[in-house]
């Protein structure tokens, strides 16, 4: 999301310094109109509708894993939107981070904890109206800010790509270096927090057999590893995976798979 936010900020910034960056963002409303859309604009709208629909299905479907898979469609649709806006680099990063890693992590967490085939009625939250209110308010605020900021801004799609890797990199490390670094500190804090959380619960739960198994590699004969992985519901995986940072994922997954491997080798 950080890169996405940067991309959103990229346009107004370059309007001020269009000459120095070589980015062509025209503010001429006379040559563009809402009533005579070009092919790209129509495609943008259609992909946007698909993305919106997939997002709604993601939060309303009663099947947990289906929700995660619809999330893939949603995030992929966003990547296509970035592509249509010539922000190629950001589109691929979107696919790499969100579709390739975050959703895989999500599915991993679901499979480790609770992933029944079919509907799971108990997955419904009682807070749905509060959640809807917050979601609508957040969406309203975002749409208002974006519309207000970019009202008369048009990206010239025929000119040099305004979102190429070079342009994005230059903008990120020349104009937006401070937010970029601040975000990396935020990620570091999340990482440390996740490590602390997983350490704590490790001491509480009965994990010594997992460790001894990993260290010695002897034949697994632990009786309490006999329950099905679907039934396993440890809070550790959920908390750690919610952080969404790469190396934390590894810590959590290394733990999870060692115990899963006992199941398999049995």
Partner 1 sequence: MNDALDVALRLLIVFVVFLTFPLIIGQTEHKVMAHMQGRLGPMYAGGFHGWAQLVADGVKFAQKEDIVPAGADRRIFQLAPAVALLPYLLVLLAIPIGPGEGAVGEVVDAGVFFVLAVMGVGVLGSLMAGWASANKFSLLGGLRTAAQLLAYELPMLLTAASVAMAAGTVSIPGILDAFEWWWLPWQIVGAIVFFVAGLAELQRPPFDMPVADSEIIFGAYTEYTGLRFALFLLAEYAGIVVLCGLTTVLFLGGWHGPWGADGLGWVWTLLKAAILAFLVIWLRVTYPRLREDQLQKLSWTLLVPLSLAQIALTGIVKVVIQ
Residue 54 CA to residue 57 CA, distance in Å, equals: 5
> Least separation, in Å, of the C-beta of 118 and partner 1?
8
Nearer to partner 1, 47 or 75 (CB): 75
Nearer to partner 1, 32 or 69 (CB): 69
Residues 6+ apart with CB under 8 A from 164: 86, 88, 89
DSSP, collapsed to helix, strand or coil, labels residue 25 as strand
Q: Could you list the residues that contact partner 1 (CB under 8 A)?
A: 65-66, 69, 72, 88-89, 92-93, 95-96, 99-101, 103-105, 107-108, 111-112, 115, 117-118, 161, 164-165, 213-214, 217, 228-230, 246-247, 249-250, 253-254, 256-258, 260-261, 263-265
Nearer to partner 1, 189 or 230 (CB): 230
Residue 65 CA to residue 119 CA, distance in Å, equals: 10
> Least separation, in Å, of the C-beta of 63 and partner 1?
8
> Least separation, in Å, of the C-beta of 104 and partner 1?
5
Chain CA centroid to CA 250, Å = 17
> Least separation, in Å, of the C-beta of 117 and partner 1?
5
Helix axes 2-16, 177-204, angle to 10 degrees: 170
Give the helix/strand (H/E) hosting 26: strand 25-26
- In degrees, rounded to 5, the angle at the alpha carbon of residue 92 between the alpha carbons of residues 26 and 82 is 30
Nearer to partner 1, 10 or 89 (CB): 89
């Amino acid at each position: 999301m950080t890169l996405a936010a940067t991309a959103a900020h990229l346009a107004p910034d370059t309007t001020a310094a269009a000459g120095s960056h070589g980015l062509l963002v025209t503010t001429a409303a006379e040559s563009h109109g809402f009533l005579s859309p070009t092919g790209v604009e129509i495609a943008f709208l259609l992909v946007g509708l698909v993305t919106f629909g997939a997002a709604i299905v993601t939060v309303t479907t009663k099947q947990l894993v289906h929700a995660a898979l619809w999330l893939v469609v949603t995030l992929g649709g966003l990547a296509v939107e970035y592509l249509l806006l010539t922000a190629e680099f950001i589109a691929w990063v979107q696919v790499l981070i969100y579709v390739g890693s975050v959703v895989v992590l999500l599915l991993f967490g679901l499979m480790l904890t609770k992933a029944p085939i079919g509907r799971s009625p108990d997955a419904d939250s009682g807070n749905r109206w509060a959640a809807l209110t917050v979601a609508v308010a957040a969406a309203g605020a975002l749409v208002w800010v974006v519309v207000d900021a970019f009202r008369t801004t048009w990206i010239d799609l025929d000119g040099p790509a305004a979102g190429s890797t070079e342009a994005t990199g230059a903008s990120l490390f020349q104009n937006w270096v401070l937010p970029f670094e601040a975000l990396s500190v935020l990620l570091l804090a999340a990482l440390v927090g996740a490590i602390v959380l997983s350490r704590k619960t490790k001491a509480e739960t009965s994990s010594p057999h997992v460790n001894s198994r990993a260290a010695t590699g002897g034949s697994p004969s632990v009786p309490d590893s006999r329950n099905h992985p679907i039934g396993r519901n440890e809070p550790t995986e959920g908390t750690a995976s919610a952080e969404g940072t790469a190396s934390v994922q590894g810590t959590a997954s290394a733990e999870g798979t060692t115990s899963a491997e006992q199941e398999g080798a049995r």
